[in-house]
Chain A
Amino acid sequence: MKFIYKDLLNFLSEKPSIKNLSERLFQLGHEHEINGEIFDMEFTPNRGDCLSLIGLARDLNVFFGKAKPYKTFEGDIEELNLDFQNLSPEVCPKISFLEIEIEGNTNEYKPYLENYFSLLGNKKVNFFTDISNYVSYELGQPTHCFDAKTINDQLIFENRICEGSFQTLLGSNINLAGNNCIFSVNSEIVSLAGVMGGISTACSTGTKKALIECAFFIPEAIIGKSVKYNLASDAAHKFERGVDIQIQEKVLRRFIEIVREHASIKNIKIQSFDEGKVQKSSIPIDVKRINKILGIDLAEEKYVAYLNKLGFGIEKEIIVPTYRHDIASQNDLAEEIARVIGYNNIDSKPLEIAKKLDKSVDDVNKLKNYLIKNGFSEIINFPFTANEEKKSISIDNPLDTNRRNLRTSLKNSLLDNLLYNERRQKDSIKFFEISDLYTKSDQINQEKKLGIIISGRQGHNYLDFSKKLDHAYLSNLLNQDSDNSVLTIEEISRTEIKTKKKDKIFYLEIPIEKIPKHLFKLSESSIDRINFIKYQSVSEFPSSTRDFSFSISDIKKYDAVIDHLSDLNDKNLKDAFIFDFYENKKLNEIKVGIRFIFQSTLNTLSEEEIQQSVNKLLKPIVDLEGVSIPGL
């Protein structure tokens, strides 16, 4: 919600600078951004009472004193004899109506009203609605303006199940469903109460006589309606968070005053329907308890003074203002005091929790360590899937209706992970995931499972480069020398997943509790993994691979070649490894194969750029006598 700095100052006896005001707002817990003289506020959902100038000022009064900047109409007003029936007083215990008629033209808006539109970017609609919107900004109470001539029969308020179409005053058609608070005339719904009025009874620029409705609706009756019908409604935002049940007549008198400042009033009548349900809420004065909650030592005199400045009544007990729906306990009052003192001004006091333990490495972490040491990377996947089985748990309100079930296996997620990386030219993939899986039978079942997927080369070093990740590899990794009949390794057919790669894919899934214990013993100690490195952006551009084979006939040069290959440096070189090493004893010659992988984070590398990098990387080697690259 946006406020004009100068509007807010009108409600404060002191006139703080923007900076000072901003600091105090943060201290009170009101986050905001400042653009020039506009404060864009973000209030926590429990502070609906702050959604107005007067509301925010009530909090700030504790620092800057109080001023009353506005006038209300104080004259006598004739009683309105409205044909109105409230069929749901439990959701609307208080409602007031003002019938107001003007004559002649309206005047140019005074600066305070004009600024509300021009500086805050609000759109003018018509005279009565403009005032209604301004009053809500000033006092936090929404009002709704009916064109009086359209309310030509009994007006009924009720909270009931509705069906059918309703056209809002903004012209959108919504299909009503479920319980709604509505106003109706002759069985026609004329307003979605607390959210938005209807087009058939809305005021227009020609309206001279309006019926202004001003009510207290309980938040529970309004919550969720604007979202349900996709209506942007400031009124609903305020009613959902709770308005002041005692402010309605004051608001209508302020409404009259603003009309009076801009037009000639021909007639005004007012009527209130009050179910008399306002209950005085009070909390015992107990400063010891407050000090205990906060860990401070505040004198009672100061305590009650702070609360008084925040608008609380001080009698035998602390009287909670009717607009503070968030205050019900000593802890709530402690928060009020902490806000006034400032959270940052409350000293820290040492806390020693008795039990101190070192976290032991549990079985799952031992297993993870073992897999990681063997080149596996851990994956975390979302559980949502399109696959549906009898045992699948379905989500009633999925984000994506095509993925409305919880996965019952890790297989498809890990297969997707593998294929994703194959498309990014990865030729050695070893992934695992450990996750709880949920299924249903006559109850919801939870099982923690390990999934492992492999495909491609066993590794990039010259011993593993030409070996493939296969059944034997996985079996050897997991079987060791024990009985592993529970470990079932499955080959996933490439035909079914329609990929051109030839490497076989092997998969294993097993509940953690069924994993043979010897596997956990393979890695007793924890890897020291916590190394908060600074991550480098991953390139979205394709990589290019170049392989080179050196013939080293002068064996004395071998160490120089290896040293150079271990210390390669080029901005486009992403990876390099020796994938081949061969000693030809007959010819007294060594062959070394190296693979360069080039990739840039800025662009797809051109052939020329790659060649420049290759030349730079190879030059120190090819310059060596007795070292050659056949074919170069």
Chain B
Amino acid sequence: MSSLDKINPPAVTKNVGTLHPINQTKDYLLNLLTHLGFTEVHGPEIESEDFNFDMLNIKKSHPARQMHDTFYVENKSNVLRTHTSPVQIRSMLESKPPIAFSSAGKVYRKDDDATHLPMFHQVEGIYVDADVNFSNLKDLIHQILHDLFGKDVEIRFRPSYFPFTEPSAEVDILSENGKWLEILGCGIVNPIVLKNCNIDPEKYSGLAFGLGVERIAMLKYGVNDIREFYKSNLDFLGQFK
């Protein structure tokens, strides 16, 4: 017997690939919302102005509807959805309260610089039931942010403006360097939106929130330039195993 028979060949390491870090983050958020009771719903990326704007109380005169902000397709017959909220509208039209939906996916805006891309991802949630109020919204947002950033994270709510929620808020967390970082937008669903979805706003109220997936991914992974996510660089992607 040769002495070579006693040796063990080097371990054969199979290279494992990676799920894209944006999809990892998106899945994480969707899993969290599922755990909180939200059911995931889906919708198209090419939307009518009706679902993308009108049903959400975004009036014809709103700047977001201008050609410099929104991609229009096929002679202005439709738009590339500017948010995932139309999915909520479609789902609310097919359901009766109580409802708790989450939706996630690609959205498009006419931007392109170091902090904005023409395509990015959102995760949204909406909950409609009798007596849903702003205090409940705060509790839910605290649950989400505590899961993402830990129980000790300092959270700040600021008044803001979205046509589809009233009151509206933006939520910041205090970063390690002492600066407040904007994390998400949320609010009480505007009764006009409920009415548009055939839900009686006298009986029901709702809360809604939306997160930018790239923003969360940048914070959690420490990526400073949003464009890194879309270069397809294996040295970059390979880190997210």
Query: Interface segment, A103-111, A149-157, A373-381?
Result: A373-381
Across the interface, do B23 and A355 meet the contact criterion of CB distance under 8 Å? no
1/0 per position for A522-533, CB-CB distance to B under 8 A?
Answer: 000001011111
Across the interface, do A28 and B159 meet the contact criterion of CB distance under 8 Å? yes
A531 to B169, CA, bound (A): 30
Q: Which residues of B contact A585 (CB under 8 A)?
A: 2, 4
Q: Which residues of B contact A446 (CB under 8 A)?
A: 44-46
Q: A29-B159, A331-B166, A331-B167 are in contact. Are A426 and B234 (CB under 8 A)?
A: yes
B210 interfacial by beta-carbon distance below 8 Å: no
Across the interface, do A380 and B235 meet the contact criterion of CB distance under 8 Å? no
Closest to A428 in B: B15
Residue from the list B98, B159, B223 in contact with A343, Cβ < 8 A: B159
Q: Which residues of A contact B167 (CB under 8 A)?
A: 293-294, 331, 334-335, 338
Q: From residue 344 to 387 of chain A, which have CB atoms closer than 8 A to chain B?
A: 344, 346-359, 365, 368, 371-384
Across the interface, do B19 and A368 meet the contact criterion of CB distance under 8 Å? yes
B76 interfacial by beta-carbon distance below 8 Å: yes
Q: From residue 134 to 189 of chain B, which have CB atoms closer than 8 A to chain A?
A: 134-140, 142, 156-161, 166-169, 188
Across the interface, do A399 and B118 meet the contact criterion of CB distance under 8 Å? yes
Q: Which residues of B contact A421 (CB under 8 A)?
A: 232-234
Closest to A594 in B: B10
Residue from the list B2, B10, B20, B110 in contact with A581, Cβ < 8 A: B10
A339 interfacial by beta-carbon distance below 8 Å: yes
Across the interface, do A374 and B159 meet the contact criterion of CB distance under 8 Å? no
Q: Which residues of B contact A420 (CB under 8 A)?
A: 231-233
Q: Which residues of B contact A47 (CB under 8 A)?
A: 161
A69 interfacial by beta-carbon distance below 8 Å: no
Across the interface, do A372 and B17 meet the contact criterion of CB distance under 8 Å? yes
Q: From residue 78 to 131 of chain B, which have CB atoms closer than 8 A to chain A?
A: 78, 80, 98, 100, 110, 112, 117-119, 127, 131
Across the interface, do A460 and B35 meet the contact criterion of CB distance under 8 Å? no
A440 interfacial by beta-carbon distance below 8 Å: yes
Across the interface, do A357 and B157 meet the contact criterion of CB distance under 8 Å? no
A310 to B204, CA, bound (A): 29
1/0 per position for A144-162, CB-CB distance to B under 8 A?
Answer: 0000000000000000000
Across the interface, do B12 and A461 meet the contact criterion of CB distance under 8 Å? yes
Q: Which residues of B contact A382 (CB under 8 A)?
A: 117-119, 230
Q: A377-B238, A555-B3, A590-B4 are in contact. Are A399 and B112 (CB under 8 A)?
A: yes
Closest to A378 in B: B20
Closest to B191 in A: A331
A499 to B: closest C-beta gap in Å: 16
Q: From residue 1 to 48 of chain B, which have CB atoms closer than 8 A to chain A?
A: 2-4, 6-7, 9-10, 12-20, 22-24, 27-28, 30-31, 34-40, 44-46
A496 to B: closest C-beta gap in Å: 20
Across the interface, do A590 and B158 meet the contact criterion of CB distance under 8 Å? no
B156 to A: closest C-beta gap in Å: 6
Across the interface, do A377 and B18 meet the contact criterion of CB distance under 8 Å? yes
B interface bracket (residues with beta carbon within 8 Å of A)? 35 or more
B237 interfacial by beta-carbon distance below 8 Å: yes
Q: Which residues of A contact B44 (CB under 8 A)?
A: 436, 438, 444, 446
A408 to B241, CA, bound (A): 30
Across the interface, do A348 and B142 meet the contact criterion of CB distance under 8 Å? yes
A356 to B139, CA, bound (A): 17
Residue from the list B46, B118, B136, B237 in contact with A295, Cβ < 8 A: B136
Across the interface, do B37 and A372 meet the contact criterion of CB distance under 8 Å? no
Closest to A220 in B: B61
Q: Which residues of B contact A31 (CB under 8 A)?
A: 158
Residue from the list A26, A338, A353 in contact with B36, Cβ < 8 A: A353
B51 interfacial by beta-carbon distance below 8 Å: no
A498 to B44, CA, bound (A): 37
Q: Which residues of B contact A463 (CB under 8 A)?
A: 12
Across the interface, do A350 and B10 meet the contact criterion of CB distance under 8 Å? no
Q: Which residues of A contact B9 (CB under 8 A)?
A: 462, 581
Across the interface, do A329 and B73 meet the contact criterion of CB distance under 8 Å? no
A438 to B231, CA, bound (A): 23
Across the interface, do A380 and B139 meet the contact criterion of CB distance under 8 Å? no
A375 to B192, CA, bound (A): 49
B195 to A: closest C-beta gap in Å: 11
A537 to B47, CA, bound (A): 37
A431 interfacial by beta-carbon distance below 8 Å: yes
Across the interface, do A381 and B156 meet the contact criterion of CB distance under 8 Å? no
Closest to B169 in A: A343
A602 interfacial by beta-carbon distance below 8 Å: no
Across the interface, do B239 and A396 meet the contact criterion of CB distance under 8 Å? no
Q: Which residues of A contact B60 (CB under 8 A)?
A: 220
Closest to A543 in B: B235
Across the interface, do A406 and B7 meet the contact criterion of CB distance under 8 Å? no
Q: A351-B140, A353-B37, A374-B17 are in contact. Are A438 and B45 (CB under 8 A)?
A: yes
A539 to B138, CA, bound (A): 42
Closest to A417 in B: B232
Closest to A377 in B: B17
A223 interfacial by beta-carbon distance below 8 Å: yes
Across the interface, do B20 and A380 meet the contact criterion of CB distance under 8 Å? yes
Q: Which residues of B contact A347 (CB under 8 A)?
A: 135, 138
Across the interface, do B74 and A393 meet the contact criterion of CB distance under 8 Å? yes
A46 to B61, CA, bound (A): 12
Across the interface, do A353 and B157 meet the contact criterion of CB distance under 8 Å? no
Across the interface, do B17 and A406 meet the contact criterion of CB distance under 8 Å? no
Across the interface, do B133 and A292 meet the contact criterion of CB distance under 8 Å? yes
Q: Which residues of A contact B75 (CB under 8 A)?
A: 396
Q: Which residues of B contact A219 (CB under 8 A)?
A: 61
Q: A377-B237, A396-B76, A532-B221 are in contact. Are A438 and B135 (CB under 8 A)?
A: no
A85 to B231, CA, bound (A): 59
Across the interface, do B17 and A332 meet the contact criterion of CB distance under 8 Å? no
Closest to A398 in B: B71
A344 to B171, CA, bound (A): 10
Across the interface, do A346 and B16 meet the contact criterion of CB distance under 8 Å? no
Q: Which residues of B contact A374 (CB under 8 A)?
A: 14, 17
1/0 per position for A559-583, CB-CB distance to B under 8 A?
Answer: 1001001000000000001100101
B95 to A: closest C-beta gap in Å: 13
Residue from the list B4, B127, B191 in contact with A555, Cβ < 8 A: B4
Please give the residue numbers on chain A whose beta carbons come within 8 Å of chain B beta carbons, in ascending order. 26-29, 31, 44-47, 219-220, 223-224, 227, 240, 292-296, 326, 329, 331-332, 334-335, 338-339, 343-344, 346-359, 365, 368, 371-384, 393-399, 406, 416-417, 420-421, 424, 426, 428-431, 436, 438, 440, 444, 446, 459-463, 527, 529-536, 538-539, 555, 558-559, 562, 565, 577-578, 581, 583, 585, 588, 590, 592
Could you list 9 A-B pairs, sorted by A, with CB under 8 Å?
A: A220-B61, A223-B66, A295-B135, A343-B159, A347-B138, A359-B35, A380-B23, A424-B235, A555-B4
Beyond A356-B36, A378-B23, A538-B235, list 7 extra A-B contacts (CB 8 Å).
A46-B161, A223-B66, A338-B134, A351-B140, A396-B71, A399-B118, A444-B78
Q: Which 9 A-B pairs have the closest CB atoms?
A: A29-B159, A295-B135, A353-B37, A295-B133, A335-B167, A44-B161, A343-B157, A349-B135, A417-B232
